[in-house]
Structure 1
């Protein structure tokens, strides 16, 4: 059995610092190369600078059995100085009489069996566990949340300030607020958008306080307050890593998509139907807002009217890429073709599909009602058969406040 040395495990005495991950258990030594295999604890005998040549009595394919007498004890028959230099180590090497042939084992584990965890530990080397380790890695966490949070805590998120230093972007302005340089500290804590998120997260976890002064201060405080293995401790830690992940996800959505969104909603009250739609750019600023009403008692029909009107208005503003959001899962499924369309609204769905095909990119997603408040407000705005296109400089005060809250990342509780 010919095994070659590899990284990990016991250190290489040659001074290279390269460790060996495999070791060979000897008996009877017929399968292991004397000079090249890592059968000694400090690695192969043939270290850097040692010449292996037949003229010196050192045969490249010589086996360990050459220095074993009757498979029971070590003997240096040739008194080779290279063997003499390692003789104490050779004599200290156990001869495993209970095994039938030489056996290669994985040195970093006590069982001798290979595992990815032990290989990773060898590759990364020893280091102190960070004080925030249990805040990020804990049972029942979501791996992708933990990973993004781990990268953030190491300061390795590719923010615009970091990308600017690398020369890949020119403008380092924060995607979430547009008011400051996008560093990790700013993006995840100092930004108005993320600060509003953290205030809500702290409040939902029972801490009625404003966030601390810096991202480092926040993490230190969280380590001492979001701890323990209880259900409450796990929920608090999960709220932290999920918030970091969602902030980064929102940042990336604005950075890479930059597509306007159209929030749509429909409602029926007393046999009269209302619908509303609001289009916003990636910063959350309104592009258009409309409200309408017709004599109709089918709420799904009104949801479809809202989607159609929103897409029609988007075409007026020459938007080429949009994402349509509705709190009606049935309406979304009808449009994307996963729900059978009733005859009464077939014409509406067909018109929506025609409008969809006129955009370079048009996607439809379902949003829960609690985060669709602007469109919900517009759907109940009028009680007469009409359509209103709002002046963005003279919006109703309540609607303006809702738009500002959404742009700042307000968290809405699910009813």
Structure 2
């Protein structure tokens, strides 16, 4: 609140001083201590061009009195109180959603996997699933059991281990059958991945920019389709062979490359994928 004539600014509940909302700074007993009613405006605290406040009895009240001495009285009667939207160091009279979001959103260091998850040409639904998997936030059976849900933790695709992210997407025999088809087109690693970081390293270790981009696209499509089939099996009891999962993955990768073929980075990917 930018103070003008004090007729609009709430004494207790508007942010018209550097002390913030005075009801929080002084405390809930502030209206009784300062003898200013809770619904008073700033102008109500001024009598005959002086602040009508009792002698301060706390450090918070001393701070308030110190600030009030910096405000020249009488207030400007021809200037109305106005609200300003302040986001960080960018004050203004209007609300700007983008600026406010940049101030409010949590900040963290840039992750080393950001280029594998978010890149130009990625499919939003694939990137989102890949992002969730990279954070290890997919609601696998082991995670659900850890939350207290009374369910079996066995992998629904192979029934040979607990369903964790790394098992489901890296070591499950069902998933490995799909991986083998992907590797034919994206060059297989020397040894199969055992951790998620090894998968990310394999993507980055491509010998060319085209192969690196193809690995990104194919890996994200793989994660999306395996997770989709897992959900179909768990929730709809729909079981299909791994070859059918790869057929759907193959068709989607071809569509992605074909749709973006006019982009320089995607122009040669179809020849790499078709083997």
Q: Which bin holds the TM-score, normalised by the shorter protein?
A: 0.5 to 0.7
The reply to whether residue 127 of structure 1 matches residue 108 of structure 2 is yes
CA contact (8 A) 1:199 1:209 kept: no
Q: What do you get for the CA RMSD once the two structures are aligned? A: 4.2
SS of match in other structure, 2:30: coil
Which residue in 2 is equivalent to 1:248? 227
Which residue in 1 is equivalent to 2:39? 61
The reply to whether residue 43 of structure 1 matches residue 20 of structure 2 is yes
Which residue in 1 is equivalent to 2:97? 115
- Correspondences of 1:9-20 after superposition (within 5 Å): none
CA distance change for structure 1 residues 137 and 65 in 2, over 3 Å: closer, same or farther? farther
Determine which structure has the larger helix proportion and give its number. 2
Q: Cα deviations across residues 42-63 of structure 1 (Å, max 9, x unaligned)?
A: 5201126341336742122222
SS of match in other structure, 2:155: coil
Distance in 2 between the 1:209 and 1:91 partners?
75
Gapped regions of structure 2 (runs ≥ 5):
252-272
The reply to whether residue 78 of structure 1 matches residue 59 of structure 2 is no
Distance in 2 between the 1:203 and 1:90 partners?
75
Structure of larger gyration radius: 1
Number of aligned positions between the proteins: 238
CA contact (8 A) 1:28 1:102 kept: no
Shift of 1:203: 4.9
Shift of 1:25: 2.8
The TM-score, its normalising length taken from structure 1, stands at 0.46
CA distance change for structure 1 residues 171 and 83 in 2, over 3 Å: closer, same or farther? closer
The reply to whether residue 204 of structure 1 matches residue 185 of structure 2 is yes
The TM-score, its normalising length taken from structure 2, stands at 0.65
Larger relative contact order (CA 8 Å, sep ≥ 6) = 2
SS of match in other structure, 2:36: coil
Q: Cα deviations across residues 247-275 of structure 1 (Å, max 9, x unaligned)?
A: 1111111212223xxxxxxxxxxxxxxxx
Gapped regions of structure 1 (runs ≥ 5):
1-23, 260-281, 286-324, 326-366, 372-412
Shift of 1:186: 0.3
The reply to whether residue 105 of structure 1 matches residue 91 of structure 2 is no
Which residue in 2 is equivalent to 1:162? 143
- Correspondences of 1:13-412 after superposition (within 5 Å): 24-47=1-24, 49-53=27-31, 56-65=34-43, 76-78=51-53, 81=56, 82-87=60-65, 101-108=81-88, 110=90, 112=92, 113-115=95-97, 118-119=100-101, 122=104, 125-205=106-186, 209-222=190-203, 224-225=204-205, 235-259=214-238, 282=239, 284=241
